[in-house]
Structure 1
Amino acid sequence: MPVALSVPPKNTLIMAWNIDSISNFDPAQSVEIVTSELLSNICSSLVQFDKHDSTKIRPAMARSWDVLNDGKRIVFHLRDDLKFDDGRVATAKDLAWSMQRIIKLNLGFARALEDFGFTKENVETNIQALDDTTLQLDFDKPYPVHLILATIGQTYTAALLDRKTLETNSVNGDMGNKYLATHSACVGPYKLVRWLPGERVVLQANQHYWGEKPKIQQILVLHVAESASQRLLLEKGDVDIARDLSSEDVLDIEKQGGPVKINRILRPQSVYLSLNNRREIFANEKVRLAMRYLIDYDNLGKTVLKGIAIPRASYMPLGVPGALDEKEGVPFELDLKKAKQLISEAGYPDGFKANLLIGSLSYMSSVAQSIQENARKIGVDLTIEKMTQTQLLSRVRGGNYDIAIMSWHTTIPDGYLSSIRQVFNPDPTFTEKKGMSLALRSGYYDVKVNKMVMDALSEKDQNKLIEQYRNLQHYILYHGPMAYLFQTYYIIGMGPKVKKWFWNSFEIRYSEAEK
């Protein structure tokens, strides 16, 4: 366990967090949850959600924008005071290069632009800087403007990278990808000054930030994997924030009523069983359905998940327009007889064996053991393999697993984005390596699902759209490749010296924290 400072100074916020999933700080590549949060505080976006109402879009690096050509073109007008952390002026030319770079590298975040028709062949023409403060995006067809703003404008898809630094540090044409494994190079409130894998991440306030200057000058994130260790550091005053407290620790701290406080807000993060459809067993729809009846949603909600998550079997998180409500979103209950019947009908009357991969998050083992015990009762032998989050991601992305407990998180409250990232799969050959689609990772391809997702994209009537998403969720509940388990809360244990901490369901802004 890393050693914290004995007394956290006023201008430094120290967090204890399990950060073993970090592998890179390149906005073109990083799609996992921890790095996404850090990058959203390192790299500014073109626009941002209103912090009190995530349905409203506000200016950020872009002071305004125009929608032209019947929705096939958007022109962003940038602020003229954007600077990199060394004080050099950042321009729309840097931003156009940064966005083109995502497509050219063809890494994890390329899908976010490809969904809007950008390709290696057209990206230099369709993403252009007209001058130092004007960025023009041309699309292959009209898309809902709010979707473009939320998906491209509000995320680090439009991170404004330091082209000069990345080209100087390019290795074998990687456009600075290896450099960004341990550095940051973008316009934003903080910059990465140190990352020691398995130990710590250090962010420092950018003195040339265009927005309101951060109150906290340094963010120190310590890698602390276990809840008990995080709690000890928090109660001793060695850290200000604990991010991975277990249900037991959360409830105990609340019961004690001491100076350490628990704050929670429901977030759009879903935890699910990924069932690898490349395996013959899980290619069988009846086996996948049987796995859902081995999940004791009620008991997990009252024990392991109490205070930190709510049972949720639908892929669309609560808080996203069109999501099934709490009751309708959990139509399953533990039913061993039903599960046994389904696997027998699938051709496995004597059960089967499979490996269940889990990461290092605090709740993983307890949830896995609950499912393992229920499976054992119907002859299904699950062997649990525990590993770091990075190892887990690598195994799943490579298709080298039977079952895995995974999580998915969105920063965008939109039904289309929830659907295309989870259940839509554009590649029936399963050869795509960018890894943005959960369905692709699990080897699942369903023409009907793909059509339902794309039909929703073109639906203009809001009531009809909501009904389409409801129908899609009901279909996935019984036919899909993932058995969803629960939706988590943002949970933090907060020390008494923290006076202000801003978050909502879709973002956390370190720059607004105060001590």
Structure 2
Amino acid sequence: MKRRDFVGLGAATLLAGTTRARAASPPNVLVIGTNLGAVPSLDPAAINARTPSEVVSNLYDNLVQLAPDDLTTIRPMAAEKWDVSDDKSTITMTMRRGATFSSGNPVTAEDAAWSIRRVIKMAQVGATDIALWGFTPENVDGLVQATDEHTLVIKLPEKVSTDLVLYSLAGSSLGVLDRKVVLQHERNGDLGRDWLKGNSAGSGPYKLAQWRPNDILLCDARTDYWAGTPAMRRVVMRHVAESGSLRLQIEAGDIDVGQYMASGDLEALQAKGATIDLGAGFGFYYIAMNTKDPDLAKPQVRQAFQHIVDWKALAATTMNFNGFPWQSIIPKGMIGAPTEAPTGYEYDPDLAKKLLAEAGYPNGLKKVLFPSSDALLKMAVAVQASARKAGIEFEIVPGEHTPDFRARKFEVLVGNSGARLPDPFGTLVQYAYNPDNRDEAKLGGYYLWRTGFDAPELTRLVEDSKDETDPERRKAIFQQVDAGFKALNPPLVVLLQRTDPYAIRKGVSGYVGHPTWSTRWFAAKKS
């Protein structure tokens, strides 16, 4: 009882305002400073961004999991084991015995089947990865079924590598939900969507204690979790929007982990002994051009755009903790990726001017430049400055322009992407895939469609990679896609591979940013 009271007292201290001095965070409470404005819901089916993915990855167990330092080995979680049929069309999973939800209900195969079916039927962003394999609201009931309390059978609607399916089952949106609890809160057939925005019904090592949007989130450790009780009895996520304020609170010991911080503040913390975990991700920073614009439809103009960004200076200053130079659409270290940093998009203002003149623009071009969000504004300003020397004048319009990008309502955009699938297919389907280029197709999930660029050969190759299981043949396909993409002078100029830095205070161990954003707190400790 005293221990519980101490945790509560510590949390109360942490809840106090920032205008007065606070004691350092208690030894059994992990405090994370982050941007809670990026958490619109706690429903796994409704999320695919970094912060909400981290939260739900601790409230819900997945059927399988991937370690952050080994993304090729699929490990048990809610499922103890699984078998794949000889014809590779069926995955049969055996559920872990003795696992329970925070409600006390046992975790069953029917809970797991219902959770997968729910994600597909809701058709929100959380379904993105699992839907790639042909599951639809119309077919999923017949394909994903529990044959008894401990056996889950997943029949694949299309020929696909079963490892890809298992990778997607490890994603944060595919956590196992307590079916009975969620359905108790269903309203008008919403499958519990409204209730799960601010509540949890999970099987993970933590349970939600309090959630105030844009303010604070509290999670308490479960003492009855099948793998044992986490060392951190409580995890507090606090909304700290200003990077300088977050740095000061980490220096004071009030906050243990900082997210979404500016490079200067990360450098200052690193100099004082903090660890900066760069958390290499599967996304990229890019310039996108809308080829429905007659100017940008010209290959020479797009080629000129390959030489208007001083990306070396960008990587060394504004982006030094947020990305590293990488001019390939296959993330570094994945199968088929270049073994050395690829080049070709060197900053060369004179060459850009020459290419523009050959395309019919001897006096350069003027275009509107959108940052995809406010977080990309500094990068947009840097691009504006270097492009001006190449004869391209950008008018920057600040704001949240991702919806405009999805709707093809832009000229030029600076953006960044993320992917949760630890396989090149996850990024290639974003950058090199467009099965229907018509406006009415509304395929806003595919970047090539957003740019209005039809590339049928690339699309075919990406499709071929989906069901290929031979590693060498997959590698060859990926390399062919990467080379073919670049040869087309594509409307997406990839410059940097994304990293997601985490500032970790001295004395904190076991907190490791996951490349798929499924960052888990179970192993976190404080000394």
- TM-score computed with the length of structure 2 as normaliser: 0.87
2:109 is the alignment partner of 1:98 = no
The alpha-carbon deviation at position 455 of structure 1 amounts to: 2.0
Moved more, 282-291 or 228-237: 282-291
Aligned position for 2:318: 304
- 1:212-233 deviation digits (Å, cap 9, x = unpaired): 3221122222222332222111
The alpha-carbon deviation at position 444 of structure 1 amounts to: 3.7
Aligned position for 1:469: 478
Query: Aligned pair in 2 of structure 1 residues 423, 203: CA closer, same or farther (>3 Å)?
Result: farther
Measure, in 2, the Cα distance between the counterparts of 1:327 and 1:465. 21
Measure, in 1, the Cα distance between the counterparts of 2:16 and 2:361. 48
Query: Aligned pair in 2 of structure 1 residues 262, 462: CA closer, same or farther (>3 Å)?
Result: closer
The alpha-carbon deviation at position 514 of structure 1 amounts to: 0.8
The alpha-carbon deviation at position 453 of structure 1 amounts to: 0.6
Aligned position for 1:27: 44
Aligned position for 2:79: 62
- Structure 1, unmatched stretches of 5+, are none
8 Å CA contact 1:246, 1:308 repeated in 2:
no
8 Å CA contact 2:309, 2:383 repeated in 1:
yes
8 Å CA contact 2:367, 2:412 repeated in 1:
no
Aligned position for 2:503: 493
Aligned position for 2:260: 244
Aligned position for 2:434: 425
- Please give the secondary structure, in 2, of the residue aligned with 1:25: coil
- Please give the secondary structure, in 2, of the residue aligned with 1:267: strand
Match of 1:451 among 454, 457, 460: 460
Measure, in 1, the Cα distance between the counterparts of 2:206 and 2:367. 48
Match of 1:272 among 276, 286, 289: 286
Measure, in 2, the Cα distance between the counterparts of 1:210 and 1:239. 29
Measure, in 2, the Cα distance between the counterparts of 1:49 and 1:471. 28
- The two structures, once aligned, show a CA RMSD in angstroms of 2.7
8 Å CA contact 1:86, 1:208 repeated in 2:
no
Measure, in 1, the Cα distance between the counterparts of 2:219 and 2:410. 35
Match of 1:162 among 163, 172, 178: 178
Q: Which amino acid aligns with 1:492?
A: Y
Aligned position for 1:331: 344
The alpha-carbon deviation at position 347 of structure 1 amounts to: 4.7
Query: Aligned pair in 2 of structure 1 residues 443, 64: CA closer, same or farther (>3 Å)?
Result: same
Q: Which amino acid aligns with 1:495?
A: R
The alpha-carbon deviation at position 321 of structure 1 amounts to: 1.6
8 Å CA contact 1:268, 1:319 repeated in 2:
no
Measure, in 2, the Cα distance between the counterparts of 1:326 and 1:279. 35
- Please give the secondary structure, in 1, of the residue aligned with 2:377: helix
The alpha-carbon deviation at position 63 of structure 1 amounts to: 0.6
The alpha-carbon deviation at position 379 of structure 1 amounts to: 4.2
Query: Aligned pair in 2 of structure 1 residues 202, 426: CA closer, same or farther (>3 Å)?
Result: farther
8 Å CA contact 1:271, 1:406 repeated in 2:
yes
8 Å CA contact 1:2, 1:199 repeated in 2:
no
- 1:406-459 deviation digits (Å, cap 9, x = unpaired): 322234331222212433233433556685433344444421111111122344
Q: Which amino acid aligns with 1:500?
A: G
Q: How does 1:165-184 map to 2 (within 5 A)?
A: 165-184=181-200
2:368 is the alignment partner of 1:382 = no
Aligned position for 2:370: 356
The alpha-carbon deviation at position 197 of structure 1 amounts to: 3.1
2:353 is the alignment partner of 1:340 = yes
Measure, in 2, the Cα distance between the counterparts of 1:220 and 1:398. 37
- Please give the secondary structure, in 2, of the residue aligned with 1:71: coil
Measure, in 2, the Cα distance between the counterparts of 1:276 and 1:42. 40
Measure, in 1, the Cα distance between the counterparts of 2:201 and 2:439. 33
Measure, in 1, the Cα distance between the counterparts of 2:415 and 2:114. 33
Q: How does 1:309-320 map to 2 (within 5 A)?
A: 309-320=323-334
- TM-score computed with the length of structure 1 as normaliser: 0.89
Aligned position for 2:7: none
Measure, in 2, the Cα distance between the counterparts of 1:306 and 1:68. 47
Measure, in 2, the Cα distance between the counterparts of 1:278 and 1:111. 26
Q: How does 1:390-401 map to 2 (within 5 A)?
A: 391-401=400-410
Measure, in 1, the Cα distance between the counterparts of 2:410 and 2:39. 21
- 1:65-101 deviation digits (Å, cap 9, x = unpaired): 1112511111111012232212122321122122111
The alpha-carbon deviation at position 348 of structure 1 amounts to: 4.4
Query: Aligned pair in 2 of structure 1 residues 71, 382: CA closer, same or farther (>3 Å)?
Result: same
Moved more, 167-176 or 81-90: 167-176
8 Å CA contact 1:16, 1:224 repeated in 2:
yes
Aligned position for 1:135: 152
Aligned residues: 506
- Please give the secondary structure, in 1, of the residue aligned with 2:522: strand
Measure, in 1, the Cα distance between the counterparts of 2:135 and 2:346. 43
Aligned position for 1:119: 136
Query: Aligned pair in 2 of structure 1 residues 358, 438: CA closer, same or farther (>3 Å)?
Result: closer
Measure, in 2, the Cα distance between the counterparts of 1:80 and 1:98. 18
Aligned position for 2:383: 371
Measure, in 1, the Cα distance between the counterparts of 2:503 and 2:419. 23
- Please give the secondary structure, in 1, of the residue aligned with 2:94: strand
Aligned position for 2:446: 437
The alpha-carbon deviation at position 33 of structure 1 amounts to: 2.4
Measure, in 2, the Cα distance between the counterparts of 1:195 and 1:504. 23
Measure, in 2, the Cα distance between the counterparts of 1:73 and 1:302. 48
Q: Which amino acid aligns with 2:129?
A: A
Aligned position for 1:405: 414
8 Å CA contact 1:322, 1:466 repeated in 2:
yes
8 Å CA contact 2:308, 2:390 repeated in 1:
no
Q: Which amino acid aligns with 1:11?
A: N
8 Å CA contact 1:230, 1:244 repeated in 2:
no
Q: Which amino acid aligns with 1:92?
A: A
Q: Which amino acid aligns with 2:355?
A: L
